[in-house]
Amino acid sequence: MLLGAIADDLTGATDLALMLVRGGMRTIQVIGVPVPGDARELSEYDAVVVALKSRTSPVDEAISQTLASADVLREAGAHQLFFKYCSTFDSTDKGNIGPVSEALLDFLKVPLTLACPAFPANGRSVYQGYLFVGDKLLNESSMRNHPLTPMHDASLVRVLQRQSDGDVGLIPYSTVEAGPAAIRTALESAAKKGLRQVIVDAISERHLVDIGHAADGMPLITGGSGIAMGLPANFIRSGQLIPAEVSATLDAPEGRPVILAGSCSEATRGQIANALEAGIPALEIDADKIIEGKQTATELCDWAVAQDAKGPCLIYSSADPRIVAEIQERHGVEKAGAAVEKIMAETAKLLVLKGFTRFLVAGGETSGAVVNGLGVPALEIGPEIDPGVPWTRSIGSRKLALALKSGNFGAPDFFIKAWGMLT
Ligand code: ADP
């Protein structure tokens, strides 16, 4: 294994894993902290991405889960560690980006790491240490209203310094623009000055590639998935990696296909409308009935089993915002959400027992619930269906093909075209 990554959430981990696959690395995504016994199996991949749920967990918990993961990744042979967080630097003055990065530095006994959340293709750029989302400073973007990690300061040097014990510096645009050698010199001089973390500017893809090049051999890198763009090339240059071909299809286990949609986002609702129009058999879950115990996972499973086995069928709870708001008002936001997630997970478990092996799941939280319900320990990353969403294959005793889609991702025909990539 060459690169060991730890991501602070599930969909961020997939995003990073895809970036590495595109760079020619055979990549596996592990759900949750891997256990030491996994090290030998993991060592057979070029890159391992551990998906934690540590973005907003208490700092101590985030640190202990990250270090436990780092330990297994090192044991499996990782040459370089990567701590992946959101490209909008989602965090608070307490953490978790700074404290987790510093804990990793201590763990690895190295003086310095770089921090770069930039991803210009997705509108995230860093200039003079200030993070822009599109044409707005971070604190003027919608991130200022985020329910868990509202971002009120666009200066990442200040944000990271407030979360960190050691000193934070900046490698500015002028240095990054001068290329990998200049960036490398700046990193060396930052370490000599005793800095622990440096924010690195990047406003173009070339900057990301050059920063990745300059970070060759650095024991720890932190940032968004964009900064991973330049990393596979380092391993290819040094002869450690023979790039794997990216296959256009996934060799999927035999079995029946099903779509479970728990996302209420506009994109997912559009995809459902498309699927209905295409004649895919569909069953709508009634959140009120579930909460009152009048609709059960067994009923949903029986309905799916009774559909034509040749094509996919769709079970969805997705409703328009007005209806969701009414349900939330009647039962409470958390209770309604948890009830829908639970029935999706239970239904998935029952479907597996009935021979369903191909799952397309819509919704970040819904995907997390289904993957946990199915007890999937790790996913091998396959071909990309639409930007940010790959087909994956589960590792472990149960062989499943899974596409886990963050609510807003995917083209309108996603639920229809995705199946054509399975062989
Ligand atoms: P997204 O990726 O679009 O944010 P998620 O699955 O992460 O989708 O979140 C959707 C949340 O809404 C989940 O907790 C889900 O259980 C909940 N939910 C889904 N359908 C309904 C509904 N009809 N009423 C209330 N809550 C719902």
Half-sphere exposure of 123 (CA within 13 A, CB side): 8
Separation of alpha carbons 203 and 224, rounded Å? 13
- CA-based nearest residue to 359, from 387, 383, 394: 394
- Please state the atom number of ligand 1 nearest to the C-alpha of residue 369: 6
| pLDDT band per the 50, 70, 90 thresholds, residue 36 | confident
Residue type, 47: A
Average per-residue pLDDT for the chain = 95
Q: What does the pLDDT read at residue 7?
A: 96
Ligand 1 pocket test: which of 11, 15, 263 has the largest number of ligand atoms within 8 Å of its C-beta? 263
Q: What does the pLDDT read at residue 333?
A: 86
Ligand 1 atom 13: residue of nearest CA: 337
Q: What does the pLDDT read at residue 355?
A: 97
Q: So what's the architecture of 3-237 in CATH?
A: 3-Layer(aba) Sandwich (3.40)
Q: Report pLDDT digits (tens) over 292-337.
A: 999 999 999 999 999 999 999 999 999 988 999 999 999 998 899 9
Separation of alpha carbons 423 and 419, rounded Å? 9
Does the structure show a pLDDT above 90 at 203? yes
Q: So what's the architecture of 256-421 in CATH?
A: 3-Layer(aba) Sandwich (3.40)
The domain segmentation of the chain, as residue ranges, is 3-237, 256-421
Whole-Å CA distances, 380 to 206, 348, 377: 29, 19, 10
- CA-based nearest residue to 70, from 97, 49, 40: 49
Does the structure show a pLDDT above 90 at 76? yes
> Coil, strand, or helix at residue 362?
strand
Ligand 1 pocket test: which of 365, 404, 405 has the largest number of ligand atoms within 8 Å of its C-beta? 365
What is the Cα Rg of the chain in Å?
A: 22
E-strand stretches of 299-406: 313-316, 356-362, 378-386, 389-395, 401-405
Cα–ligand 1 centroid distance for 87 (angstroms): 23
Q: What is the mean pLDDT of residues 63-85?
A: 97
Q: What is the mean pLDDT of residues 361-376?
A: 92
DSSP notation for 262-314: ---SHHHHHHHHHHHHTT--EEE--HHHHHTTSS-HHHHHHHHHHS-TTS-EE
Cα–ligand 1 centroid distance for 262 (angstroms): 5
Ligand 1 pocket test: which of 146, 264, 315 has the largest number of ligand atoms within 8 Å of its C-beta? 264
Phi and psi at residue 214, in whole multiples of 5°?
Answer: -65, -25
The percentage of residues in the chain with a pLDDT greater than 70, rounded to a whole number, is 100
Does the structure show a pLDDT above 80 at 16? yes
Does the structure show a pLDDT above 90 at 120? yes
| Inter-residue contact 402 to 376 (CB < 8 Å) | yes
Does the structure show a pLDDT above 80 at 145? yes
Cα–ligand 1 centroid distance for 341 (angstroms): 8
Does the structure show a pLDDT above 80 at 201? yes
- CA-based nearest residue to 72, from 13, 20, 30: 30
Q: What is the mean pLDDT of residues 347-358?
A: 98
Q: Report pLDDT digits (tens) over 218-254.
A: 999 999 999 999 999 999 999 999 999 888 999 999 9
| Inter-residue contact 250 to 423 (CB < 8 Å) | yes
Cα–ligand 1 centroid distance for 419 (angstroms): 24
Cα–ligand 1 centroid distance for 265 (angstroms): 8
Ligand 1 atom 10: residue of nearest CA: 263
| pLDDT band per the 50, 70, 90 thresholds, residue 168 | very high
- CA-based nearest residue to 189, from 214, 206, 162, 219: 214
- Please state the atom number of ligand 1 nearest to the C-alpha of residue 367: 6
Q: What is the mean pLDDT of residues 358-387?
A: 93
Residues, the chain, total?
423
Q: Which residues line ligand 1 (CB under 6 A)?
A: 262-265, 287, 317-319, 324, 327-328, 336-337, 340-341, 363-366, 406-407
